[in-house]
Amino acid sequence: MTIAITAFERSPDGGKGLARDTRVRWALEEVGLPYEVRLVSFRAMKEAAHLALNPFGQIPTYEEGDLTLFETGAIVLHIAECHPGLFPADASARARAITWMFAAVNTVEPPILELVTVKLVESDKPWKADRLPLVEDRVRARLSQLAARLGDGDWLDGVFSAGDLLMVSVLLRLRPSGLLDEFPNLAAYVARGEARPAYQRAFAAQLAINTAPLPAG
Amino acid sequence: MTIAITAFERSPDGGKGLARDTRVRWALEEVGLPYEVRLVSFRAMKEAAHLALNPFGQIPTYEEGDLTLFETGAIVLHIAECHPGLFPADASARARAITWMFAAVNTVEPPILELVTVKLVESDKPWKADRLPLVEDRVRARLSQLAARLGDGDWLDGVFSAGDLLMVSVLLRLRPSGLLDEFPNLAAYVARGEARPAYQRAFAAQLAINTAPLPAG
């Protein structure tokens, strides 16, 4: 069954791998599934054809036969459930991996997205300078808790799982801020994720698209 | 197997049902599982015993024999997978229900939490008045997209699922703001969720705790 995902025609990050299609590409590479990519422009993302796939007008989406999914977390979970490589076989360990998936997108990522809001969305606002340290401290609070739990482990719960895939992806967004480097074990954890061959292939695939000439028209 | 969850000794909302244990209580009531509740104070939530259950020092947590989970989304998903009532039997419909679970906590809730930040966490900041309408518009943008997808359906994907449970729970946080009432089909959707007997039991259980006298000491 052919798998098709959507990605930005041109990512706002210019190919740094922070757009969420990289997370889905990484998951597909970990389990060894081929996939097709359909590129969408910012304009097309808000049009009816794409909204039918994702009502919130975002990428990535995931199509596999009659099944259409959106939300990166749900797509990665679906891939992990249907193919070996991203979930442990033990049911309890699998439930804990899912806990880390939600922790990544629901507990660790929100303050990181607030940082994006301060720096990009509200970069022209008069409160930017005063608000930035408040938001940075919220990020630090989460990182500190995560670093304490990770300790000197390689991954969050023994072996690499879909939970690590999402957590590493979320933390990668922080690298430009310098905050990640305040927590050496988290920086090493992220580097361990990036070093995986499946991540390398996913990163290279999105970079190739973002550095290719745009189609005419 | 006994199920034990944690909840605030006294919720910051005074019993309006917005603390996240209500979501887990609701899921347990939908599938008809009995559970015990261990109450934790704000101080105890940041101490080692609780951090062993949830490294981010939050409630709820979930214990079932040797299994310990945190993250409301993961707990609800675990309950839904192990007991009939919250997931459709069809595998594709189940994957779509999980998509709505992630959409609730990862796409719809973040701007709603930003509103909480503006109104409560940063209520004493000089930028509050200028920032509030920006954040309200971000919430409206999401609600508008969600309202368009829901249309005149009762639930997001046919029958009630764990996706609706989380989406209704997330939207409930908006009621005091008045923003929910700008979208009549979403307001009706939330009311439909609240009218379910399982929600009513969950709400009553948390209210009883939050209106009981605090233990001495």
Question: B113, A113: Cβ pair inside 8 Å?
Answer: no
Q: What distance in Å separates residue B142's CA from the closest CA in chain A? A: 7
Query: Looking at the predicted structure, is the pLDDT value of residue B175 above 70?
Result: yes
Nearest in space to A7 (alpha carbons), one of A42, A33, A34: A42
Same domain, yes or no, for A79 and A158? no
A93 shares contact with chain B (CB less than 8 Å): no
CATH code where residue A175 lies: 1.20.1050.10
Give pLDDT tens digits for A156-190. Answer: 999 999 999 999 999 999 988 899 999 999 999 99
Query: Looking at the predicted structure, is the pLDDT value of residue B93 above 80?
Result: yes
What would the mean pLDDT of B141-165 be, rounded to a whole number?
Answer: 98
Question: A146, B55: Cβ pair inside 8 Å?
Answer: yes
What share of chain A in percent tops pLDDT 90? 92
Same domain, yes or no, for B202 and B190? no
Higher pLDDT residue, A215 or B76? B76
How many beta-carbon contacts under 8 Å exist across A and B?
A: 116
Complex-level ipTM:
0.96
Residue to test with chain A: of B46, B56, B83, most A Cβ within 10 A: B56
pLDDT score of B150: 98
Nearest in space to B200 (alpha carbons), one of B168, B161, B175: B168
Q: Which pLDDT band holds residue B21 (cuts at 50, 70, 90)? A: very high
Does B216 fall in a domain? no
Does A33 fall in a domain? yes
Q: Which residue of A has its CA nearest to B134?
A: A122
Helix, strand, or coil (residue B8) = strand
Residue to test with chain A: of B107, B113, B150, B185, most A Cβ within 10 A: B107
The overall average pLDDT reported for chain A is: 95
Does B121 fall in a domain? yes
B161 shares contact with chain A (CB less than 8 Å): no
Q: Report the half-sphere exposure of B198 (CA within 13 A, side-chain side).
A: 19
Q: Which pLDDT band holds residue A216 (cuts at 50, 70, 90)? A: low
* List of chain A residues whose C-beta atoms are within 8 Å of the C-beta of residue B24: none
* List of chain B residues whose C-beta atoms are within 8 Å of the C-beta of residue A101: 74
Same domain, yes or no, for B78 and B10? yes
CATH code where residue B7 lies: 3.40.30.10
Same domain, yes or no, for A117 and A148? yes
pLDDT score of A217: 54
Nearest by CB: B71 against A51, A106, A125? A106
| Start-end of H helices in chain B | 21-31, 42-45, 48-53, 72-82, 91-102, 109-116, 128-150, 162-172, 184-194, 197-211
A71 shares contact with chain B (CB less than 8 Å): yes
Q: Which residues contact B212 (CB under 8 A, 6 or more apart)?
A: none
pLDDT score of A176: 86
Domain encompassing residue A177: 91-196
Query: Looking at the predicted structure, is the pLDDT value of residue B217 above 60?
Result: no
Does A161 fall in a domain? yes
- What's the total number of domains in chain B? 2
Does A216 fall in a domain? no
* List of chain A residues whose C-beta atoms are within 8 Å of the C-beta of residue B72: 102, 106
Same domain, yes or no, for B102 and B146? yes
Same domain, yes or no, for B192 and B97? yes
Give pLDDT tens digits for A9-67. Answer: 999 988 999 999 999 999 999 999 999 999 999 999 999 999 999 999 999 999 999 99
Q: What distance in Å separates residue B197's CA from the closest CA in chain A? A: 27
Give pLDDT tens digits for B33-85. Answer: 999 999 999 999 999 999 999 999 999 999 999 999 999 999 999 999 999 99
Nearest by CB: A99 against B70, B98, B145? B70
Query: Looking at the predicted structure, is the pLDDT value of residue A215 above 80?
Result: no
Does A217 fall in a domain? no
Higher pLDDT residue, B35 or B12? B35
Question: A71, B96: Cβ pair inside 8 Å?
Answer: no
Q: Which residue of A has its CA nearest to B147?
A: A55
The overall average pLDDT reported for chain B is: 95
Residues 25-64, chain B: which have Cβ within 8 Å of A?
Answer: 51, 55-58
Q: Which pLDDT band holds residue B131 (cuts at 50, 70, 90)? A: very high
Same domain, yes or no, for B182 and B103? yes
Residue to test with chain A: of B106, B114, B118, B183, most A Cβ within 10 A: B106
Q: What distance in Å separates residue A207's CA from the closest CA in chain B? A: 25
Would you give the distance in Å from CA A34 to the centre of its chain? 19
Same domain, yes or no, for B96 and B35? no
Q: Which pLDDT band holds residue B213 (cuts at 50, 70, 90)? A: confident
pLDDT score of A161: 98
Report the Cα–Cα distance between both ends of chain A, in Å, rounded: 32
Q: Which of A7-11, A200-204, B166-170, B198-202 has the least mean pLDDT?
A: A7-11
Listing DSSP states for A11-73 in one string gives -TTSSSS-STHHHHHHHHHHHT---EEEEE-HHHHTSHHHHHH-TT--S-EEEETTEEEESHH
Same domain, yes or no, for A63 and A18? yes
Q: What distance in Å separates residue A212's CA from the closest CA in chain B? A: 30
Same domain, yes or no, for A81 and A96? no
Same domain, yes or no, for B121 and B183? yes
Dihedral through CA B156, CA B162, CA B164, CA B170, nearest 10? -140
Q: Which pLDDT band holds residue B1 (cuts at 50, 70, 90)? A: confident
Residue to test with chain B: of A54, A101, A106, most B Cβ within 10 A: A106
